[in-house]
Structure 1
Amino acid sequence: MSLVVAVPFGIASAVVYGTSIVVQHRTAQQHAGEGGEASASGLIAMAKHPMFLLAIAGDAIGFVLQIIALAAGPVVFIQPLVVLMLPVSLGVSFLMGGHRPRVGDYLGVAGVLGGLSVFLALIGHPGDAHVPRSRYIALAIAVVLVVGIVLCLAVQGRNKVIKGAMYGAVAGGYFGTLAVMVDAASDRFSRHGFHGLFVGHRGLVPLVGIVVLGAGGIILTQVSFQVGALGATLPANLAVDPLMGVLLGAVLLSERVPYTAWHLAAYTLCLAAIVAGAIRLADPQVGGVDPDEQPEDPVGGPPTQQGS
């Protein structure tokens, strides 16, 4: 385990994700249905958009960087770095024609960076992971998937803010769990090589989890972008993602996380600071990611009508 290797790759992954998310949101909004609702035809049309495909390629690069980071460092320390994508998206959105950052945006960045820094300082060095038997990993995957599906079904018919927040939260839960699966797969790879990933339950179960959770997380993220309400979607996603990673990293992988009453109170304050900063940066009216209404074409063209 080497934080010297893991942290730079984790930060690089967040930078790539933060760049891709701006393009994905703009493209998703251009292909939303009437009233900003998600639609299957919109998702198919969006999947053919060149800029969207470029953003997905960026996500693939970000995922590779994240794999390297998780292979070299503990989940409970590396996964929270994902929140850095919001400050990155602020700058990317501005460079793509968005508004110039305001004082409130910088305060949002300070909230995200401050909360993350204090949290990582509190975590300290969590030690090595201990991957449990594949049955427990499979159980964790099944529980997270089923709970996520139930929660998404529970908000059908609700307004777009509630749906966007729920879709974002479930996607974050899937991505946070996926990080744990990556760590388990990397442990298998380090012990038995590439061949070991495809032989026996200890290799196959994490791989299946990565594929299923990854696909579910990506689909839900794009659906939440079509729904809109980015000010609800992204904060929910970026709160649940590291939270799930830290929780399962501690419970499933036995990575050491201090959990005295004082630490729990401090963690709560850190999470509150990150969420507050995320809400500010993702606010469609004043934040830094992208407006929900009538986004400009990513290559600088005129506004595109929704549903086109």
Structure 2
Amino acid sequence: MRRLNVRTDLLTSVESLIAQQNEATASLPGEPRVDIVRDHGGVRAAAVVMTQAFVENHDKGWLAWLKPEEVRRIEEGDHALGERRLTPILAYLLRAGLGAGGILCVETVQAADGIGPRVVRGACLRRLPMAWPARDSLLYKYLVGGWHALRTYGLPRALAADRAQTRLRQATELARRAQGIPQGCIYSSMMCVPRRFEGLHVARRLSGPFLRLADEQGLHMLLQSSNPDRNDERVFKRFGFSRIGEFNYGVSRLNAVGPYTITLLARPPRQIEVHPS
């Protein structure tokens, strides 16, 4: 996998913060740790656990463009097809994000038998200020991303999903400018923890190094919440985020879940206390 397109000082800092956190959690049961993904196998594993969380939580922004019968199966508790449909899309989006300032992290614990591979319990993608301008390959987007979208959604829904994604980016940028937030900030693109791993501080470990990085470097953080009823108060407010806007998608024959809202949230850097020696 190519070198991460993240400003060198920020990448060095977040690597150090993750290492410090891992050292502090090494004595906990299962030896939980956070790692930066640097290979295609790690991207796939992150995509799988993210898809599981999106499908379990019925995140409308992710299910909207599946066929109505597939959404009904998910609502009835049959998640297998939905996960199979969405995992390739998530893997593509993660790989694309890595070329535009993205750092992909997974949280894992030692397998219960102490022998097998470590268990992935959650994943997050954060986009930081880039080391060099992103080279957005239209060929990659339309051949690779387009092929996955067509296979998953079909042509009309794939085009509708692309339009919705463009409008969401525009809404986020408008909200950022309206709040006077500098462009050089941390975009909290995705963070997912399947329900069976909730309550184990997985989200806290995934978020912690980036929250500390934001405070140390004086950077704002932005995120898009695709399940605001479930996550905004329970998770994001606790981390210091507050609402700065929203993206609404209305009724459409191509939208299988009906109208939905994605909340736009921001977190300003916090003052770091300096204690006299």
- Mark yes or no: TM-score above 0.5: no
The higher-RCO structure (CA 8 Å, 6+ apart) is 1
**What TM-score, normalized to structure 1?**
0.29
Identify, as 1 or 2, the structure richer in helix: 1
**What TM-score, normalized to structure 2?**
0.32
